[in-house]
Amino acid sequence: MTYNRSDRVGEEIRKEVATMLFGEIHDPRVGFVTITKVILSKDLRQAKVYFSMIGSGEDKEKTMEGFKSASGYIKRELGKRLKLRCMPELTFKFDDSLEYASRIETIIKEIKGA
């Protein structure tokens, strides 16, 4: 498996955003959130930041609004910390893979129990 620059930079962005969420971003809309992955375009201009959380659809929408509100601060701080020539444009997306895995596990348990 190749490990290219966009993967390395994406992992650094994931770590830094997670650190910011832990101690620097105090928006109540962004509560208990986990940054699961960051996918960068090959030219490092676009970054999709995936997050997961437990909550209702309304909670997820509020969290998305909180991320949109804080995206300028996050991008500015990433620029200071990562020293990239060009900071990627950040897009935040909900990662539903954990919910999907939980649903599949429940279905398998039901099948085994039946």
Sorted by where each starts, the structural domains of the chain and their CATH numbers stand as 5-113 (3.30.300.20)
d(CA 52, CA 60): 9
CA neighbor of 30 nearest in space, from 19, 38, 22, 40: 22
95 pLDDT above the threshold of 60: yes
Q: Record the pTM.
A: 0.82
Would you say how long the chain is, in residues? 114
Is a pLDDT exceeding 70 seen at residue 3? Answer: no
Q: Where are the beta strands (DSSP E) in the chain?
A: 33-40, 46-53, 89-94
**Residues above pLDDT 70, as percent of the chain:** 96
66-to-7, 58, 107, 114 alpha-carbon distances in Å? 26, 12, 34, 43
SS3 at position 62: helix
Share of the chain above pLDDT 90, in %: 43
Identify the three-state secondary structure at position 60.
helix
CA distance 112 to 107: 9
Give the count of beta carbons closer than 10 Å to the beta carbon of residue 51.
Answer: 23
